[in-house]
Structure 1
Amino acid sequence: MAQDKHQLITDQIVDLFEKVDAGDWHQPWSTSAGIPRNGRTGNNYRGVNVLTLWGTALVNGYSTNEWYTYRQAQKEGGQVRKGESGVKICYLGKFKKTIETDDGEEEERTIRFLKTSTVFNRDQIDGLEPLDIPAHQLSEEERIGQAEAFVKNTGARIEEGSPHAAYSPAKDRVTMPDFGHFESPEAYYTTLLHELGHWTGHPTRLDRDMSGRFGDDKYAAEELVAELTSAFLSAELGLEADLKDPARYLKSWIRILKEDKHAIFTASRKAQDAAEFLSDLQPAQEQDAA
């Protein structure tokens, strides 16, 4: 029987969520190392693969965000150590197929399907060249300044002084507690990025279904999209995202993912779209710097 690849990837993500104690929430991934990338091509991974690789690195204590297939490691002069286990990532394959239409004409169509590949972290591989670490690392002040500029460039209506962080679709407005109410500047900006994730769902932007009410699955699903949007952008901006509030939604997320093997793919795709929408609002020079 062919392996259900959607179920395989979903099970990996559910396993990460289930390792989390809802009473002591922390994300089952880390954004501090940035977006995971392929060590041979230098390309960043996207969508659900980002979550899988973040979580795997955190659970196993890996120190890098670089990943290789077995063959890629060999081509780089490395060798995966005996006994090491890789992690499955997914990507879209495609092929051409000629079909007969209702009017009897032949038409060539592109058929897309999900494929999986096994990758290993650099820490699992011997013989690779030393990791090239940039000479200049952004200071905390520089990272916070970069985050503030990113937020301002979105043009979103943001008002402080509220008891809660929230986005109102009806008013198209983000409200935030005062800056000083947060444990750290990073906590403020990761929370604000979460609310900006919701902001992208407005009908004049990405037009997501925002009709959910607190406690139902639609609401929890939108919260997951916003949470992932914040995580993706925090990694790009060098912020450590560790939001406390999502513990309220953790059980709903697990239930949604268990009931629908496509749910995490949908949520991560929508979050990727939201993050890219916000990034596209940045001036070209600043976008390149991020």
Structure 2
Amino acid sequence: MKTATSKAESGETRRFDAYQAVTDTILKKLEEGTVPWRCPWDRKVGRPRNFASNREYQGINVMLLGVKRFASPYWLTMRQANDLGGQVRKGERGTLIVKYGRHERRTKGKEEEETKAVYYLRGYTVFNALQIDGVEFPEMELPEPQANEGRIESAERIVQEMPGKPDIHEGRTVRACYRVSTDTIEMPARSRFIDAESYHLVLFHEIIHSTGHERRLNRNSLMGATGAVMTEYSKEELVAEMGSAFLGMEAGIVQDEHEQSAAYLQCWLDTLREPNRKRWIVEAASLAAKAANHVLAIE
């Protein structure tokens, strides 16, 4: 099993399975009654980002950092904090994040050397701005979402500006779904939803599904989810759940983490505990980020 190296708060290097570490973190939150991909941030805090590079974290790292509920979006490694003239406060515990990458490995073939891509997942420990002394962090001011007659303008804009979006029909059914065969989304009437936030998050869920169509991202978890490989569709549902949350974040919509049914929680606990699925969380988060970026026309 491929392992990765991470530095603990003490500075000691340890060997661990990064995929398992991430999965264990998510399972722990599910066991506590929190669905981390539903509410991994606060609209008043903003998306977590590295203060040194000013780059926003992507994929699974959004959840790993968001569930910590710090009131600042800024994070640094211990080395970055030291380089900026600061220091991590004594006794503070860091948070695991991961980096997914690849490198080329040369191997000897029958006749000549061959190059093979090797993928890895590496773990890092970061600390929030509120755990660091000696560094001046700015405060972020984020606009509040605007609601108007059951519509949220920021969410409406995301849908309207999606490049090559599928046809969206409303009110023809009482069940939301995306149909691959016709590349269409069916949505119940808005009056059937308890609020505008719920409507848009469900629509985002179906829109994320649509990004898997062969003329968009051609995602195997959607296009290959038939017959003997229906387990792929379980991963596709996880992609849609996470992707919907990512788009919700962009629109300023945050779903209450406590409004989760016991059956929903148990379903994901059972699914993610199954053998050979410890990579699902990381892989699904990566696919969800790509899907959300496609909707937002971000390269």
Q: 1:130 to 1:115 in 2, by over 3 A?
A: closer
Segment drifting more, 187-196 vs 71-80: 71-80
Structure 1 position 64 matched with structure 2 position 79: no
Higher mean alpha-carbon deviation, 224-233 vs 183-192, is at 183-192
Distance 2:92 2:138 in 1: 20
Once the two structures are TM-superposed, the CA of residue 140 in structure 1 deviates from its matched residue by 2.1
1:140 is matched by which residue type in structure 2? Q
Partners of 1:193 and 1:89 lie apart in 2 by 26
State the alpha-carbon separation in 1 of the partners of residues 157 and 183 from structure 2. 20
Corresponding residue of 1:283: none
Residue segments in structure 1 that go unaligned for 5+ positions in a row: 281-286
Q: Does 1:144 align with 2:152?
A: yes
Matches within 5 A, 1:1-290: 2-20=15-33, 27=38, 29-30=40-41, 32=43, 33-57=45-69, 62-92=70-100, 97-103=105-111, 105-107=112-114, 109=116, 111-134=118-141, 137-141=143-147, 144-154=152-162, 155-161=165-171, 162-207=173-218, 208-210=220-222, 211=225, 217-242=231-256, 248-258=263-273, 259=275, 260-280=277-297
Shift in alpha-carbon separation, 1:81–1:14, aligned structure 2, 3 A: same
- Cα distance change of structure 1 residues 54 and 133 upon mapping to structure 2, 3 Å threshold: closer
Aligned to 2:7: none
Say if 1:34 and 1:236, in contact at 8 Å, map to a contact too: no
Whole-Å Cα distance in 1 between the matches of residues 33 and 144 of structure 2?
A: 30
> Partner amino acid for 1:42?
N
Check conservation: 1:217, 1:256, Cα contact below 8 A.
no
Q: Deviations over 1:223-259 (max 9, x none)?
A: 2110100111222222214486786543332233223
CA distance in 1, matches of 2:279, 2:68: 20
SS in structure 2 opposite 1:201?
coil
SS in 2 for 1:209: helix
Number of equivalences: 272
The alpha-carbon deviation at position 192 of structure 1 amounts to 1.0
For the aligned residue pairs, the C-alpha RMSD in angstroms reads: 3.0
Q: 1:209 to 1:133 in 2, by over 3 A?
A: closer
Q: Write the deviation string for residues 143-173 of structure 1: whole angstroms up to 9, x where unpaired.
A: 9222212102233211111322222223322
Q: What is aligned with 2:10?
A: none
Conserved 8 A contact 1:88-1:117: yes
Q: Structure 2: 5+ residue runs without aligned partners?
A: 1-13
> Hey, what does 2:11 align to over in structure 1?
none
- Paired AA for residue 240 in structure 2: A
Deviation at 1:6, TM superposition (A): 1.5
* TM-score (ref. length: structure 1): 0.81
C-alpha contact (below 8 Å) 2:100/2:119 kept by paired residues: yes
- Identify the structure with the greater strand proportion: 2
TM-score (norm. length: structure 2): 0.79
Contact 2:221/2:235 (<8 A) preserved:
no
1:274 Cα deviation from its structure 2 partner? 1.0
| 1:10 partner letter | T
SS at match of 1:90: strand
Instruction: Write the letter of the residue equivalent to 2:210.
Output: W
Give the Cα–Cα distance (whole angstroms) in 1 for the partners of residues 41 and 262 of structure 2: 16
Contact map agreement 1:30 1:241 (CA 8 A) in 2: no
**Aligned partner of 1:252: which letter?**
C
- Secondary structure (helix, strand or coil) at the match of 2:75 reads strand
Secondary structure, counterpart of 2:16 in structure 1: coil
Look up the equivalent residue of 2:146 and give its one-letter code. E
How many Å separate the matches in 2 of 1:263 and 1:255? 13
Greater helix proportion: 1
Q: Give the deviation of 1:99 after TM superposition.
A: 2.1
Q: Is the deviation greater in 243-252 or in 227-236?
A: 243-252
Shift of 1:51: 1.4
